[in-house]
Amino acid sequence: MSFNEVSTLFHEFGHGIQGMLTVIDEAEAAGINGVEWDAVELASQFMENWCYNKPTLMGMARHYETGANLPEDLFEKIKAAKNFRAGSAMLRQIEFGRIDIHLHHYFDLNGKETPFEAARRIATETSVMPPYEHERFLCSFSHIFAGGYAAGYYSYKWAEVLSSDAFAAFEEAGFDNENALRELGRKYRDTVLALGGSKHPTEVYRMFRGRDATTAALLRHSGLAG
């Protein structure tokens, strides 16, 4: 399996265990059912973090012919590739999310500004390069009106905030502290994985973390902060 395939397996397994470990009897609120867009990718993206955790990856990555462990330098390359142009990628997602929300909530249908002009104006605040005057990106931005993401594109990045902050809890517990990890794992299971859409995701997250999520862990995991 390629690294991307392993990451995808971990991602989808996160969705799977949220379904398997639910304690909610009502189908419409069990597993991922009833979980708002803001948090539906929390459990899956959380699992992806383990692919970049050295003990986890080194514990399973073997050469398919020789059985040799993953070389140290290759692990470092995988980590470096993850954060290549992370700042540009984050600005791109913020731009898309802002455009999506603006067109659904703030855009004045009777105003002088066209949707394309509004998108370019927002892009000037988030893009390193000035947007092309005649670009028509909105024509291919299907998320803003199709696929259920209307005014919800921001959830892609917000789910990363939640998943990184959740993984940071395990980093803080210490990967060499077996008892602390076991206790934290049970708490994660009993909240994020078990409660599904039975409670507001913010309430569920506070039950697990003891506070609201912050962006600190995401910035650090993206290589944008120490």
Three-state SS string over 197-217 comes to CCCCHHHHHHHHHCCCCCCHH
Q: Please give the Cα distance from 19 to 179 (Å, whole number).
A: 26
The Cα 222–Cα 226 span in angstroms is 10
Grouping H, G, I as helix, E, B as strand and the rest as coil, residue 89 is helix
Query: Rounded to the nearest 5°, which phi and psi values hold at 149?
Result: -95, 5
Q: Which residues contact 216 (CB under 8 A, 6 or more apart)?
A: 165, 168, 225
Q: Which residues are catalytic?
A: 12
